Amino acid sequence: MVRYSMELGEVTPHNIKQLKRLNQVVFPVSYNDKFYKDVLDLGPFAKLAYFQDIVVGGVCCRIDNTDGKRCLYIMTLGVLAPYRRYGLGALMLKHVLDLCERDGNFDSVYLHVQISNEDAIKFYAKFGFDIVEKKENYYKRIEPADAYVLKKHFRKTEA
């Protein structure tokens, strides 16, 4: 059996351009310079995914405090097409979910997915995410413009 080296690494000022290039290839939307400047302050909530020491994926999240609830928003999670189905997306998502579980104070984790992206919807469903809302005209300049909000709730244990 062939063993592949897969690992997550920090996003730093030295490799932020790799994340930017990766996102330009993977996502149909573009992110501004402020997005990348802010990513450098995310700590463990931003990671690069390496396959055989090559950057092929990345994940960026931010903490949202809305309506008295503390949620984690997955801004981006993507892998270059030739490297999909090796488990890198799962590795990044498990990292994010583990951070939430260890923290213990997140109500949920959520993200937006283009309604036509069936692969992403199925991927997140495997990890317990549900479609909770449809946002009309969420995306600018891409078709279809609508997005689903996918959310995974964490059970609160009452003391």
| Residues 29/75, Cβ–Cβ less than 8 Å | no
Catalytic residue list? 73, 112
Task: Compute the distance between CA of residue 68 and CA of residue 53 in angstroms, rounded to an integer.
Answer: 41
d(CA 149, CA 159): 30
d(CA 44, CA 61): 9
CA atoms within a 13 Å half-sphere pointing along the CA-CB vector of 95: 24
| 107 C-beta neighbours (distance < 10 Å), count | 19
Give the whole-angstrom CA distance, residue 159 versus residue 29. Answer: 43
Q: What are phi and psi of 151, to 5 degrees?
A: -140, 145
In three-state secondary structure terms, 19 is: helix
